[in-house]
């Protein structure tokens, strides 16, 4: 079935709708430059309610396998691609991408000029868009455009109840605040012998401390960090209580809890080849990123924090460390391994902080 993506400014991109339904969707249109990893992108909760454009032209060539899912389900609003591979091949493949999209009820528009769409977003910035069939009325499109962009999306992706993931003998106990955590992060911490208690995003600081953790991890997640002031207030209460490590949204929440500010990027950082420089060592890491907001360097002022990492693409902050407390955070995903091992030491640093705390 013929379909189209209509951006908020009226720009239209035409293609084919997957399946024979007139499924429609709306959300913020973003792009990811990764050449692989479409399944991980589709199951990353940080993309909640976003229409994701993949810039690599051929998508679905190695199919889909359950072992690569990053969450319990997909939360994306829609997918836009150039060519949809009809005959994938991989030893681990369990189903085709088309089957996965159908089962997850993800609207997909393919045969789209994704190069032109990406250039549009890069020049105009991310904006709302709708995916509709070619024959959808203008009044229906107007009604969809009038819908407000969903805020507080962390509520949609966080775990509804706490759960525990055990480790080996004599583990470090880590409480993980789930803002939309990826499975690979949990796996990375467990490999370092961390027993994980994963709690809902809005868990109170007192409840977290009652679990007597050796450290607290703040996960990645979707949306504007300023949409969750309750979480920021709870994190404030934890700052001087335990070692803390944050990734992505967790990084932004730590910054806000410390008194800094955040702002929205024009089109964000989404891809698996983002260069980040460590200011302490001078080394450059190739990183995987997925965020639309950044910490405002001007807001750091006299705060007791040090910028540890910056993006070599635009100079934005990619990591901070507290001057006296065992608190560190990065804007990118060290567990995603695009380097592949450029950033795994960040987890080791968190482990060291917890061991020092535990042996006090």
DSSP 61-90: TT-B-GGG--SSS---SEEE-SEE-SS---
Q: Of the listed 251, 322, 333, 353, which one is catalytic?
A: 333
Q: Give CA separation, 273 vs 41, 197, 247, 297, 310, in Å.
A: 14, 31, 17, 23, 14
Q: Of the listed 248, 278, 291, 318, which one is catalytic?
A: 248
Give the pLDDT mean for 215-239: 98
User: What's the rounded Cα separation, in Å, for the pair 9 and 27?
Assistant: 14
Residue 115's pLDDT is: 98
User: What's the rounded Cα separation, in Å, for the pair 332 and 317?
Assistant: 10
Read off the pTM: 0.96
**Structure tokens that stand for 260 in this block:** 């800094």
What is the pairing mode between strands 127-133 and 25-32?
antiparallel
- pLDDT, one tens digit per residue, over 269-282 is 999 999 999 999 99
The angle formed by the CA atoms of residues 318, 320 and 325, to the nearest 5 degrees, is 160
Confidence of residue 23 (pLDDT cuts 50, 70, 90): confident
Q: What are the residue ranges of helices labelled H in 239-309? A: 249-257
Give the pLDDT mean for 259-274: 97
- pLDDT, one tens digit per residue, over 115-148 is 999 999 999 999 999 999 999 999 999 999 999 9
Considering only CA atoms, which of 218, 300, 296, 223 is closest in space to residue 258? 300
CB contact set of 69 (below 8 Å; sequence gap of 6+): 39, 43, 183
Confidence of residue 20 (pLDDT cuts 50, 70, 90): low
pLDDT over 90 (residue 337): no
User: What's the rounded Cα separation, in Å, for the pair 360 and 103?
Assistant: 51
Q: Is 123 exposed, middle or buried (0-12, 13-18, 19+ CB in 10 A)?
A: exposed
pLDDT over 80 (residue 340): no
Confidence of residue 355 (pLDDT cuts 50, 70, 90): very high
248 as an active site residue: the answer is: yes
Residue 344's pLDDT is: 85
**Coil/strand/helix, residue 339:** coil
Considering only CA atoms, which of 236, 223, 187 is closest in space to residue 344? 187
- pLDDT, one tens digit per residue, over 61-107 is 999 999 999 999 999 999 999 999 999 999 999 999 999 999 999 99
pLDDT over 90 (residue 26): yes
Q: Other C-beta atoms within 10 Å of 93: how many?
A: 14
pLDDT over 80 (residue 15): yes
141 contacts 130 by C-beta, under 8 angstroms: yes
**Structure tokens that stand for 123 in this block:** 């020049």
- Residue 40's Cα: distance from chain center in Å? 10
Residue 360's pLDDT is: 78
Considering only CA atoms, which of 173, 186, 220 is closest in space to residue 201? 220
pLDDT over 70 (residue 21): no
Give the pLDDT mean for 301-320: 97
Q: Of the listed 28, 278, 335, 353, which one is catalytic?
A: 335
Considering only CA atoms, which of 275, 317, 292, 4 is closest in space to residue 121? 292
Domains and their CATH numbers in the chain: 2-146 (3.50.30.20), 158-358 (3.40.50.880)
pLDDT over 90 (residue 185): yes
Whole-number percent of the chain with pLDDT over 70: 99
Q: Other C-beta atoms within 10 Å of 244: how many?
A: 25
Q: Other C-beta atoms within 10 Å of 237: how many?
A: 14
The total number of residues shown for the chain amounts to 360
pLDDT over 90 (residue 236): yes
Residue 22's pLDDT is: 62
Cross-strand partners of 243: none
Handedness of CA 31, 32, 35, 39 (dihedral sign): negative
Confidence of residue 336 (pLDDT cuts 50, 70, 90): confident
**Averaged pLDDT of the chain:** 96
CB burial of 153-173 (b: ≥16 within 10 Å; e: otherwise) equals bbbebbbeeeeeeebeeeebb
User: What's the rounded Cα separation, in Å, for the pair 31 and 119?
Assistant: 10
Considering only CA atoms, which of 258, 347, 343, 261 is closest in space to residue 305? 258
269 as an active site residue: the answer is: no
335 as an active site residue: the answer is: yes
């Amino acid at each position: 079935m013929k379909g189209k993506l209509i951006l908020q400014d009226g720009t239209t991109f035409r293609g084919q709708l997957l399946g024979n339904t007139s499924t429609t969707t709306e959300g913020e249109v973003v792009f990811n430059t990764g050449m692989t990893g479409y399944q991980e992108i589709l199951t990353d909760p940080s993309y909640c309610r976003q229409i994701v454009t993949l810039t690599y032209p051929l998508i679905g060539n190695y199919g889909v396998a359950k072992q690569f899912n990053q969450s319990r389900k997909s939360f994306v609003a829609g997918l836009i691609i150039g060519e949809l591979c009809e005959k994938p091949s991989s030893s681990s493949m369990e189903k085709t991408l088309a089957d996965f999209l159908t089962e997850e009820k993800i609207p997909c528009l393919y045969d789209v000029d994704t190069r032109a769409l990406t250039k549009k977003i890069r020049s105009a910035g991310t904006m709302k868009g709708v995916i509709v069939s070619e024959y959808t009325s203008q009044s229906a499109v107007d009604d969809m455009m009038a819908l407000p962009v969903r805020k507080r999306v962390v509520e949609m992706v966080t775990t509804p109840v706490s759960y525990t993931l055990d480790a080996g003998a004599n583990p470090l106990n880590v409480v993980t605040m789930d803002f939309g955590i990826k499975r690979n992060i949990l796996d990375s911490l467990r490999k370092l012998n961390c027993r994980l208690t994963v709690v809902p995003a809005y868990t109170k600081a007192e409840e977290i401390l009652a679990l007597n953790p050796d450290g607290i991890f703040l996960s990645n997640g979707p949306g504007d960090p300023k949409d969750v002031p309750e979480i920021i207030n709870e994190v404030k209460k934890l700052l001087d209580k335990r070692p803390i490590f944050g990734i992505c949204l967790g990084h932004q929440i730590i910054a806000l809890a410390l008194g800094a500010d955040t702002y929205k990027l024009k089109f964000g950082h989404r891809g698996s080849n983002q260069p980040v420089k460590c200011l302490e060592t001078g080394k450059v890491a190739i990183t995987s990123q997925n965020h639309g907001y950044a910490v405002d360097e001007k807001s750091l002022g006299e705060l007791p924090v040090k910028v540890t990492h910056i993006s070599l693409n635009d100079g934005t902050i990619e990591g901070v460390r507290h001057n006296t407390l065992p608190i560190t955070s990065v804007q990118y995903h060290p567990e995603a391994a695009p380097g592949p091992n450029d950033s795994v030491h960040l987890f080791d640093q968190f482990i060291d902080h917890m061991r020092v705390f535990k042996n006090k």
